[in-house]
Amino acid sequence: MSERKLLLGNDAMAHGLVESGCSVVASYPGTPASEILSGVALWRERYGVPMHVEWAVNEKVAFEIAYAAAQSGLRAATAMKQVGLNVASDPFMSAAYLGVTGGFVVISADDPGPHSSQTEQDSRLTAMSAKVPVLDPDSPNQARELIAAGFELSEAFRVPVMLRPTTRVCHANQDILPGPVAPSERTAAFVKDPTRWAATPVFRHKLHLELEEKLAGIAAWEPTAPRLLNPGVSSGKALVASGVAAAHAREVLEDLGLRDVIPLWQVVQPYPLHTAFVERLLADYDEILVLEETTGVMELQLADRHRVKGKRSGFVPEVGELSPELVERLVAAFAGIPAAPSVAPPTGGGRRPTLCPGCPHRASFHAIKRAAPKGIYPSDIGCYTLGLNLGGVDTVLCMGAAVSQAAGFYHAYKLSGQVPDIVATIGDSTFFHAGIPPLIDAVVQDARFVLVILDNATTAMTGNQPTPALGWGAGGVPTATVDMEGLVKACGVRFCRSGEPGNLPAFTALMKEAVAFARTDGLAVVIARQPCVVDRTYTGERPPKRAVRVSDACNGCRFCTTQFECPALVYDEETKRVVVDTLVCSKCGVCVDVCPRLAIEEVGK
Amino acid sequence: MTGGEQLIISGVGGQGILFVTRILAETAIRNGMPVMTSETHGMAQRGGVVISHLKAGEFSSPLVRPGRADGLLAMKEENIALHRHFLRPGGWIVANASRVPAGLEGHLVHVIDADALALEIGSPQAVNLILLGFALARLTDAGLFCSTHQVIATIERRLGEKGALRAASLKALRLGMERAEA
Ligand code: SF4
Ligand code: SF4
């Protein structure tokens, strides 16, 4: 492959993994990291290289599978988003102490902004507390290059290495000249060494000492040392930037005419910060502006901080993305020149995200609200989080918490008397990821609520990756399957029934049964089973199409638009009635059973 | 700064904004230009506003700063108001709208009712390419970095093996081009 190609940052990293002779890659999908593993599966097939590539059931499992390969001398990687790293933090912390034999790259993608995450946490801080070196790319191409550098660093010091891209790297596309692919010649060779691989606390103390020595060496490792992007410029002031902030800063310096005025240092390894660089920085410059997302990780490692302008000093905001316009203002202020007047975006306006037209989750939420109108609705991470627009979601904490929170609400209310109806929702992939242990706990502790598993046969939010129930894995390869009903029943649940939410009357009746069971008999599980409307990988049957129109019986009460919120139902200010936008209607027909005046009818009926 | 070109392409989820961005970006590469694009994924895509930044030329940041875009391609009328602040003075707007909205002085504005045309040809998902074809044909003087022919070549390359989709895509693109001349 010798021509320049437009590659998504995640695809570029995937190519970097395959280029570097990586043999095992495991991941759980999470925006913005999801496309890395699918990219690896694609390149693996394209080049015909032998690799094990898998969608693991969660990040902890993904991490441990890849880590074992790195313990066996192979090159291995795992990819996740920043909150996914929390799930894998247990093995992550330990792996730093035990180290690796082959190269091990942990990709943890951060989401400053945050565009599609619960937090703006900085994975580099987690790496810092685990004592794992981090590389921080500024672009898709640099992310690809740092994969190779990461493997070299990892093997030179026998430590896991973190690559920390952000949304603007993962989801930017760039023209890239990919490197040649050379399949790895290594074979797995695990060397038993229980004092290391199964180290008891006494040995861990020794391993910690070793790790500190390694870090000192890494802080002097030439290939990842900071780079002066505009050599020959001298000034009392210096800019230090990492990640995409470095890319913004480069362009902004140029536009402000400061490229030959202020030196710009790009740090590709924000932790551990190179010792010689820190000394030089403090010796050569009086004033230093540090630009990094999201937390001041480099800044924390700079002693003599009164000369440093950054997040700690309050010069750079602690919250949110460092947008290029913000970087422009900060650099101008630092240089003491006027910035271009800022152009404010309009306030308000725009559409809020909502479930797709015809999405089965919308029907499920509607049925839930009918069956338990005064209920508490704990929910979880996925498309269905958008059910909060519909009033069907009251809590969203983290993967799997819908189940444990539902149990928690039950126990809390039971102590003080009246228990309300509690209906929790969780997606199929999320259920496999983190829903099973809390379900077991709920059964054992006799928590009484309804758990609705929204089974749309995919991991929809992140781009339709497979779940363990489907029988195919990364790159479409066949896998064994896990039966969800069997699993639920084996957890000790006595009420476990499935239904199709698109058949709203029947599904609502099923929900009412489940709510009644939960009030008197115990935990009930309803599996709401209907395929995702935008899943192109789905090959099974779909419900028949039912085109709809709104009749003259519509009085414009807006029940359907506010309570059901299908984007294809539009309130027309002129006629004061609702119309169907046929450009977006998916012809699911569910709204026929939503309008209280029966004003929505099937065409041709 | 660099003689490059910065565009904003915006609309709502499901309108094929990523596809249009990719076609333009690949055309830029064929023209020997470095290119970066940046778009919304995940949550916002679900029927919410989707925006994509495209920079062809010597840039390093993946994002367009407000006040710097050379053009705005709006797949819905409401996106004009939402994203006009990205435009530089004199930047162009090409929008899917039934009429030219008021208050856009200082910009070169072209509109086409791509929704109606898409329904006419019975292909609701064609709005993006109708608008792109229209933009390419109308902007010959405003200096877009690529020509209609180059874009057709990119679509043919990209959808080469997908006969029916390629034909439908080119049909939509040509429909937009024809209406630009009318
Ligand atoms: S269609 Fe039915 S629910 Fe919707 S506004 Fe009209 S009467 Fe109300
Ligand atoms: S049939 Fe009704 S509920 Fe289904 S997509 Fe169309 S308008 Fe929305």
Q: How far apart are CA A347 and CA B62, in angstroms?
A: 24
Contact indicator for A170, A42 with CB cutoff of 8 Å: no
Question: CB distance from B134 to chain A under 8 Å?
Answer: no
Tell me if A349 is assigned to some domain: no
Residue A535 domain-assigned? no
* A206 plus A229 within the same structural domain: no
Query: How far apart are alpha carbons A414 and A448 in whole angstroms?
Result: 10
Nearest to residue A567, comparing CAs of A583, A548, A545, A551?
A583
Chain A positions in Cβ-Cβ contact with residue B14 (cut-off 8 Å): 356, 534, 584
Residues 137 through 156 of chain A touching chain B, CB cutoff 8 Å: 138-139
* Strand A76-81 versus strand A450-455 pairing type: unpaired
Task: Please report, as a single letter, which amino acid is at residue A241.
Answer: A
- Neighbouring CB atoms inside 10 A of A480's CB total 7
- Please tell me what DSSP assigns to residue A124: H
Position B44 confidence tier, pLDDT thresholds 50, 70, 90: low
Written as one letter, the residue type at A446 is D
CA distance A404 to A388: 19
DSSP letter assigned to residue A605: -
Give A337 or B13, the one with higher predicted confidence: A337
Query: Could you give the number of structural domains in chain A?
Result: 4
A572 touches chain B (CB under 8 A): no
Which tokens is A9 given?
């940052």
User: With a CB-CB cutoff of 8 Å, which residues 577-596 of chain A face chain B?
Assistant: 582-584
Q: Is the dihedral of CA A33, A34, A39, A45 positive or negative?
A: positive
> Alpha-carbon torsion A353, A358, A363, A366, what sign?
positive
CA distance A44 to A46: 6
A323 to chain B: which residues are within 8 Å by CB? 63, 65
Are A391 and A518 part of one and the same domain?
A: yes
Give domain status of residue A542, yes or no: no
- End-of-domain residue from the set A199, A221, A243: A221
The three-class DSSP label of residue B153 is helix
Q: How would residue B17 be classed by pLDDT, with cut points 50, 70 and 90? A: very high
The CB of A586 under 6 Å from ligand 2? The reply is yes
Residue A552: give the domain boundaries.
548-602
CA distance A60 to A85: 8
Name the 3-class secondary structure at A219.
coil
> For residue B28, what are its two tokens?
């830029």
Decide: helix, strand or coil at residue A457: coil
CATH number for the domain including A28?
3.40.50.970
A-chain CB neighbours of B122 within 8 Å are none
A538 within domain boundaries:
no
Closest C-alpha residue for ligand 2 atom 2: A591
Q: What ipTM goes with this model?
A: 0.93
Q: What is the pLDDT of residues A78-121, one digit of tens each?
A: 999 999 999 999 999 999 999 999 999 999 999 999 888 889 99
Would you state the pLDDT for residue B1?
37
Q: Say whether both A88 and A9 belong to one domain.
A: yes
Q: Which residue has the tokens 């995450």?
A: A117
Distance from CA of A244 to the nearest CA of B (A): 7
Q: Does one domain contain both A306 and A431?
A: no
CA atoms of A441 and A547, how far apart (whole Å): 44
Alpha carbons A433 and A57: distance in angstroms, whole number: 5
Rounded to whole angstroms, what are the CA distances from A58 to A26, A27, A384?
10, 7, 19
> Does residue A121 share a domain with residue A142?
yes
Beta strands in A418-562 (DSSP E): 423-427, 450-455, 495-499, 524-529, 548-550
Supply the CATH number for residue A283's domain.
Answer: 3.40.50.920
A89 and A105 in a single domain? The answer is yes
Q: Whose CA is nearest to atom 4 of ligand 2?
A: A588
In-domain check, residue A345: no
Please indicate whether residue A589, judged by its CB atom, sits closer than 6 Å to ligand 2.
Answer: yes
Chain B nearest-CA residue for A6: B26
Q: List the single range of A483-497, B112-126, B153-167 with lowest mean pLDDT.
A: B153-167
Residues of chain A below pLDDT 50: 1
Interchain proximity B38–A172, CB inside 8 Å: yes
Strand B49-56, strand B35-39: pairing? antiparallel
| Domain edge (last residue) among A221, A245, A268 | A221
Q: How far is the C-alpha of B182 from the C-alpha of B180, rounded, in Å?
A: 6
Domain of B100? 4-181
Mutate to test the pocket of ligand 1, among A555, A579, A580, A590 (most ligand atoms within 8 A of CB): A555
Q: What is the CATH number of the domain that holds B154?
A: 3.40.920.10
Indicate the number of domains in chain B.
1
The set of residues, in sequence order, having a beta carbon less than 8 Å from that of A420 and lying 6+ positions away, is A374, A375, A376, A413
- Checking if the pLDDT of B2 tops 60, the result is no
Are the C-beta atoms of A128 and A273 separated by less than 8 Å? Answer: no
Query: Mutate which of A587, A595, A600 to test ligand 2's pocket (most atoms within 8 Å of Cβ)?
Result: A587
Residue B85 and residue B79: Cα distance in Å, rounded? 11
pLDDT recorded at residue A347? 78
Q: From the CA of A562, how far away is ligand 1's center (Å)?
A: 10
Q: Shortest Cα distance from A234 to chain B (angstroms)?
A: 22
Strand partners, B54: B7, B37
Q: What percent of chain B has pLDDT over 70?
A: 95
Choosing from A221, A241, A275, the residue where a domain stops is: A221
Judgement on whether residues A314 and A461 belong to the same structural domain of the protein: no
Rounded distance from Cα A140 to ligand 2 centre (Å): 39
Q: Judge whether A176 and A13 are in contact, CB under 8 Å.
A: no
Q: Choose among A13, A106, A244: nearest CA to B38.
A: A244
Taken as a whole, chain B contains a residue count of 182
Following DSSP, what letter does each residue of A544-572 receive, concatenated?
PP--EEE-TT-----HIIIII--TTEEEE
Q: Are residues A505 and A567 in the same domain?
A: no
Tens-place pLDDT, residues A159-205: 999 999 999 999 999 999 999 998 889 999 999 999 899 988 889 99
Same domain, A513 and A573: no
Sequence-separated (6 or more) residues with CB below 8 Å from residue A59: A27, A28, A30, A78, A80, A84, A85, A87, A88
Kind of pairing between the strands at A308-309 and A287-291: parallel
The ligand with the least distance to the CA atom of A548 is 2
A181 and A238 in a single domain? The answer is no
Binding-site residues of A for [4Fe-4S] cluster sit at: 554, 557, 560, 566, 585, 588, 591, 595
In a shared domain, residues A451 and A556:
no
CA distance A136 to A292: 10
Same domain, A438 and A579: no
